[in-house]
Every structure is written in C-alpha cells, then in structure tokens.
Amino acid sequence: MAEDRYRPIPCALHSRYELAVLRGRALTLAWRDPAGATHLERVLPLDVRTRAGAEYLLVRRPDGRELEVRLDRILHAEPLPAR
C-alpha cells in the first residue's frame, strides 16, 4: 500500500474492540493486510495493543494461530451471537 501511516480510529470503535476482548466475544472480522489483500474470518479477540504509534487487535484464528491486525486496517467487525 502506498500510504502506510497509522490513522487513529474513533474512540467509540476502539472501545468496542476492548469490550469484545473483555467479554471473550468472537467476531467476524474483515480487514486489509499490508499488501492490500482483503480477509474475512471468524476470530477471537485477545488484546488491544499499542506499538510504535499504532494500535493493533490481537486475535486467535480458528486454527489456533494468533495474528495482529492494525486497527485502522479493519473494515468491519461484527460480534458473533453468544453461545
């Protein structure tokens, strides 16, 4: 991607990600990776982290692998129904 500088997200959206982490609520998450490819997966949010001036959502994929998704690259996040 040509422009890779982090763009802060609205506080309300940041709070939604933190709440999903606290509640252990799985999400259907759509995001764009650094190469520009779009992904859509069901994930479990584990933590919201800050590093080098950018914020990330740490998630666990269904296969158990963990991934950090930069918050400004998230296109859509929908909580899955509680079980």
Q: What is the mean pLDDT of each run of 10 residues along the chain (83 residues)?
A: 81 94 96 96 97 96 97 96 75
Return the ∠ at Cα 63 (arms to 23 and 39), rounded to 5°.
80
Gap between the Cα atoms of 40 and 77, Å rounded: 10
The whole-model pTM stands at 0.91
Gap between the Cα atoms of 57 and 49, Å rounded: 6
pLDDT of residue 4: 83
**Sequence ranges of the domains in the chain:** 25-79
CATH of domain 25-79: 2.30.30
